[in-house]
Structure 1
Amino acid sequence: MTLLYKADPERGKQWTRLFADKAPALSFRVWPDIGDPAAVRYLAAWQPPEDPARTLPNLEVIFSVGAGIDQFDLSGVPDHIAVVRMVEPGIVEGMVEYVTQAVLTIHRDLFDYAAQQQQRVWRELPVRAAASRRVGVLGLGMLGSAVLERLRLFGFACAGWSRSAHSLAGIDCYAGAESLDAFLARTDILVCLLPLTAATHGLIDAAFLAKLPGGASLINVGRGPQLDQQALLDALERGHLANAILDVTDPEPLPPAHPFWTHPRVRLTPHIASATRPETAVDVVLENIRRHRSGLPMLGQIDRARGY
């Protein structure tokens, strides 16, 4: 029985060492050195090979090495092959850190202070209490729930929206399309943590942004194609939105002439909000292999109908 790794080769070296230490009885190979294709039961990949069932005829499970699976072409993965997204502590911790600093950057007026610094202006701005700032998170999965739990500790008025109903202590939870407008109307800092699906592609468009209060800000750590970039630029130009912090764009990277690069109210980072940590990711994969061999549900197994 073989686990095949197909992602960043440098990380593959770390995975190789970790699997040798933690599961020496398991055959571990790094693409393109697949050995006997018929022996491969498990694939850990950023993107599977084309027609994985033909390339690896006895493949049973594909593990995403990232938190999402939108980079997979599921139409090429037969239904008998389970698909599992990465659910590991390092991804959660990284996302909580990133979103917390992004919210605090906006809350403590660091965009304005950066502009003042460029102009050599030394002027205090009024400090708002965190309780007066309403933060809203789109997506109440593993990442969204963890982010809200941390932000709540700062005293922010926190709410979350998801397609299905959730209940989180100290968080106002909204569910379903019928509650989305009310959720947006009460949100000063909007954080997008939704998976990329057909339903969320292009979701954050001009009409969507118009439902936020004047002066609101956007943090997008979901996926680039969820955002209409021109709609965001227009909203910033009109002053309806104050700031945007974007860790994801479409495409990645942006063309050199794209206005986001130089916009004074946009901060860009190169899709680094959170990353899989090999040390903990290997433990999760091994646990899921144990579960799979025992006929138990795997952590992070996706629902094909939902796409996540």
Structure 2
Amino acid sequence: MPVNVLFAASPDRWTTYETPLKRAFSEAALDVNLATDIVPEQVDYIVYAPNSDLQDFTPYTRTKAVLNLWAGVEGIVDNPTLTQPLARMVDNGLTRGMVEWVTGHTLRHHLNTDLHVLNQDGVWRKEVPPLACDRPVTILGLGTLGQACGESLANLGFPVTGWSRSQKDAPGITCLSGETGLQKALSTAQILILLLPHTPDTENVLNAETLAQMPKGAIIINPGRGPLIDDEALLKALDTEQIGHATLDVFRTEPLPASHPYWAHPRVTVTPHIASETRPASASRVIAENIRRGEAGKPFLHLVNRDLGY
């Protein structure tokens, strides 16, 4: 009997994922019936995006796991009808994309590339940046993405401090945790990178109080989640030059409305949620592996802790 896998995401995602998923299932030697319209009582697994029309999981009584296509699960984790195991997407392609984006923008700000790229006006601006070893970087969030980005920056010579809610240990990174650890991590952050999940405990982690704890003129890079930042507090900190620049890839409302003050602010760079995208080919292999494990009676990978929200 084939394994029934329901694909529950937007139609454009089905077009993108149908072929890579079928290929990944074949490579994993799985006999799978993959479709967008399977009777709920016959569904074994759900490949899911939180913006799907499927919001009531109650009829899916046979379903062994819901396999999220996205790294973020804040759009589904609190759904009271979801009693099945939920796995988030941890994909090497997603990780490498994030590392490249974060490293690129960290170097952009470290080297002050904008000074020359945006000012081709005949003025000889000979301003030499410090070496990486003299530019402390802090990463808030030491999950898979945070640790990978920290390792990349540490290999370039940056002193990297990482903060997480629970104590972590990552090679090349000074790891801190707790309220006192957060204050210490912020106090040295000439460049701050946000890679925390969005939970009630992390919302507005950057606010008027925490922004004031950072070195004057510090840079903020946010490819994590929009609600990590109190937008009004950040705009005020930019206006007073407490924060020198903010490069933002994620926002509370997406697409970012054309009227939002971030677009016109001279110390803000907006990018359209492109820091890291799930690659269909590699993500499909992650999903196939979890289904293979489920069918073999092995523990699923990347399960979400419902209490923590990620």
TM-score (norm: length of structure 1): 0.93
Q: Distance in 2 between matches of 1:37 and 1:76?
A: 17
- The equivalent position to 2:189 in structure 1, one of 165, 174, 187, is 187
Counterpart for residue 105 of structure 1: 108
Counterpart for residue 217 of structure 1: 219
Residue 58 of structure 2 aligns to which amino acid in structure 1? A
Residue 60 of structure 1 aligns to which amino acid in structure 2? K
Structure 1 runs of 4+ aligned residues shifted over 4 Å read none
Which secondary structure state, in structure 1, belongs to the residue aligned with residue 79 of structure 2?
helix
Counterpart for residue 207 of structure 2: 205
Residue 221 of structure 1 aligns to which amino acid in structure 2? P
Which secondary structure state, in structure 2, belongs to the residue aligned with residue 182 of structure 1?
helix
Q: Distance in 1 between matches of 2:236 and 2:16?
A: 44
Residues 230 and 113 from structure 1, CA distance in 2 versus in 1: closer, same or farther, beyond 3 angstroms? farther
Residue 92 of structure 1 aligns to which amino acid in structure 2? T
Superposition RMSD in Å: 1.6
Q: Distance in 2 between matches of 1:94 and 1:216?
A: 24
Equivalent positions of 1:69-148 (< 5 A) are 69-72=73-76, 74-79=78-83, 81-117=84-120, 121-148=123-150
Q: Distance in 1 between matches of 2:19 and 2:10?
A: 15
Counterpart for residue 303 of structure 1: 305
Q: Distance in 2 between matches of 1:19 and 1:42?
A: 13
Residues 130 and 59 from structure 1, CA distance in 2 versus in 1: closer, same or farther, beyond 3 angstroms? same
Q: Deviations over 1:170-198 (max 9, x none)?
A: 21111122311011101110000000001
Consecutive unaligned residues in structure 1, runs of 5 or more: none
Counterpart for residue 28 of structure 1: 34
TM-score (norm: length of structure 2): 0.92
Which secondary structure state, in structure 2, belongs to the residue aligned with residue 305 of structure 1?
coil
- The equivalent position to 1:242 in structure 2, one of 223, 228, 244, is 244
How many matched pairs? 302
Counterpart for residue 44 of structure 2: 41
Counterpart for residue 226 of structure 1: 228
Residue 109 of structure 2 aligns to which amino acid in structure 1? I
Conservation of the 8 A alpha-carbon contact between 1:68 and 1:195: yes
Conservation of the 8 A alpha-carbon contact between 1:66 and 1:86: yes
Q: Distance in 2 between matches of 1:296 and 1:257?
A: 50
Tell me how far 1:114 sits from its aligned partner.
4.3
Counterpart for residue 56 of structure 2: 51
Counterpart for residue 8 of structure 2: 6
Counterpart for residue 166 of structure 1: 168
Residues 291 and 128 from structure 1, CA distance in 2 versus in 1: closer, same or farther, beyond 3 angstroms? same
Q: Distance in 1 between matches of 2:221 and 2:166?
A: 22
Which secondary structure state, in structure 1, belongs to the residue aligned with residue 175 of structure 2?
strand
Counterpart for residue 270 of structure 1: 272
Q: Distance in 2 between matches of 1:132 and 1:200?
A: 29
Counterpart for residue 153 of structure 1: 155
Tell me how far 1:231 sits from its aligned partner.
0.9
Query: Does residue 60 of structure 1 match 2:64?
Result: yes
Q: Deviations over 1:71-112 (max 9, x none)?
A: 215233333x00110011111010001100110111011233
Residues 13 and 254 from structure 1, CA distance in 2 versus in 1: closer, same or farther, beyond 3 angstroms? closer
Residues 121 and 264 from structure 1, CA distance in 2 versus in 1: closer, same or farther, beyond 3 angstroms? farther
Conservation of the 8 A alpha-carbon contact between 1:96 and 1:146: yes
Which secondary structure state, in structure 2, belongs to the residue aligned with residue 136 of structure 1?
strand
Residue 100 of structure 1 aligns to which amino acid in structure 2? T
Counterpart for residue 258 of structure 1: 260
Conservation of the 8 A alpha-carbon contact between 1:84 and 1:299: yes
Tell me how far 1:220 sits from its aligned partner.
0.7
Tell me how far 1:166 sits from its aligned partner.
1.3
Residues 184 and 22 from structure 1, CA distance in 2 versus in 1: closer, same or farther, beyond 3 angstroms? closer
Residue 3 of structure 1 aligns to which amino acid in structure 2? V
